[in-house]
Amino acid sequence: MNADHAKLRRRVLFVLRGKLGDTVTCFATVRAYAGAFPGDDVTLLVRASYAPLFRGEQGIRVVGFSSRVAMFAKLALMRWLEPPFDALLVLLGAGPPILRLSRMVRAGRKIFHDGRYPDVYPEWPETPPAHMQFEPAWRTARIYAPELAPPQWSCIPNLAARRRPGRVIGIAPISDEPRRTMSPEVVHALISALAKRHAGYAIHVLVNIDDDEAKPLLAAGLPAGVRFRNSPTLQAMVDELSVLDHLHSTDTGIYHLAAAMGVPLTTYFGPTQPWKNGFPAQPDLMRIRLAALGGDHCEEKGCQRPACLEMAVAGHISARIESDIGGTPAGCLLRQHSRQALKPVTADSAPTSVPVH
C-alpha cells in the first residue's frame, strides 16, 4: 500500500452475480483487495445462497440478495442511509439488473468487467482473448487499484479453517452439463481404483439427488461400502467437503469451492481447458486431461456423452472404459485424432498459464 492510499479510507462495492464456480473464482480478487487495502471499507454484494460462504472473511462486509427485488431494496437502503461509494466494481454478472444497479448506486467511479455498457459503466479493463478464469475480475479491480497484484490461488480462509479430514475420499461426478458429467460406468471404475489406492478410507460420492444429471448414477447404485452423500444446500456441501482428505471431481462449481477450502484435488477435464479454469499457483491440485486435446476448448455444448472425459479418467487410473467416439457430435475435437493418439493423458499440478500483465 502506498503512502497516499494509507491516508484514505475508501468505500468500495464489489458485485458478484453469477454461478457458484464463477463466484468463488471472482471472490479471490475481493479477498486480495481487502488484504491489500485493510483500511478500506469493502462491501460485497452477492447471491443470498452464496453469502454464507464469505461471511466472516476479514475486512469484507457481505450483503446477500435472494432476488432482484431484494437486491434493489438493499441497494435503496444503502443509498438512503450510507455515504456514496468511491467505486462500484462489477466483477461478475450482466443484463438488465446490472444496468439498473449502476443507476441506483451512488459511486464516484463505476467499473464493469467488459465494455458492453459504456453509457453507465464508463470504465472497463482490456482483457486479452486468451485469459485465465480469474483475470477479468482482477483486471476490473486493477482499474481502480493499479498496484493490486493478481491472486495466485483461490482461498476462503474461514471455510478452510473448518476442514477436519476424516480418512474420506470424495468423488464429485455431476455437473450442470452432460458433457462434463461422469457416467455411472466411469464413477464405478474410479471407485474401484480409489478403493485400491486408499485402502481403509471411506469413499463418498457427492450428489444432489434432485439434480437431473444425478438420476442415472442414482439408478445404477454404488458398490458395497460406498455411500452417496446428498448435499441439497451449499452448507451441506461445505460440511461434506470439510471431512475429505482428497476429492476427485469433474470440472464443476464443487471443484472451485473445494479448491478455495484447501481440499487436495484431482480434477478431470473433458471439453474445458485446465489452464483456464484455475489459478497460477493453486496448491494440491492435479489437472487431468487427454494430452491430444492440449489447451483447446470444445464448443459442442450439446454433447450428451463426453468420451473425452471418460478417456481422461480411464487413462489416469489405467482402467478400461468403452467410449464411443462415433456417438459424439460432428464438431467433437476427438475426431481430429487417431485412437492411438487419444490414449495418453496429461497430469499437471500447475496449468500452462498465459502471462498476466
CATH 3.40.50.2000, the chain: domain bounds? 3-151, 159-348
Report the alpha-carbon distance of residue 75 to residue 339 in Å, rounded.
56
Which pLDDT does position 1 carry in this prediction? Answer: 46
Query: Does position 224 have pLDDT exceeding 50, yes or no?
Result: yes
pLDDT band at residue 351 under the 50/70/90 scheme: low
Computed over every residue of the chain, the mean pLDDT equals: 92
Mean pLDDT in residue range 80-97:
96
Going across the sheet that includes 60-65, the strands are 60-65, 41-47, 11-16, 85-92, 107-112
Query: Does position 285 have pLDDT exceeding 80, yes or no?
Result: yes
Nearest to 333 by CA among 305, 299, 357, 302: 299
Backbone angles phi, psi at 49, to 5 degrees: -70, -25
Which pLDDT does position 7 carry in this prediction? Answer: 52
Q: Please tell me the CATH code under which domain 3-151 is placed.
A: 3.40.50.2000
Note the pLDDT tens digit of each residue in 1-32. 444 444 578 999 999 999 999 999 999 999 99
Q: Which three cell numbers stand for residue 314?
A: 480411464
pLDDT band at residue 236 under the 50/70/90 scheme: very high
CATH 2.40.110.10 fits 159-348, yes or no: no
Note the pLDDT tens digit of each residue in 184-210. 999 999 999 999 999 999 999 999 999
Which pLDDT does position 342 carry in this prediction? Answer: 87
pLDDT band at residue 264 under the 50/70/90 scheme: very high
Q: Are 281 and 264 in contact (CB under 8 A)?
A: no
Query: Does position 180 have pLDDT exceeding 90, yes or no?
Result: yes
Neighbours of 112 (CB within 10 A): 27
Report the alpha-carbon distance of residue 55 to residue 61 in Å, rounded.
7
Query: Does position 354 have pLDDT exceeding 60, yes or no?
Result: no
Which pLDDT does position 2 carry in this prediction? Answer: 46
Strands 41-47, 60-65: parallel, antiparallel or unpaired by DSSP? parallel
Note the pLDDT tens digit of each residue in 126-177. 999 889 999 999 999 999 999 999 999 999 999 999 999 999 999 999 999 9
Nearest to 272 by CA among 181, 146, 157: 181
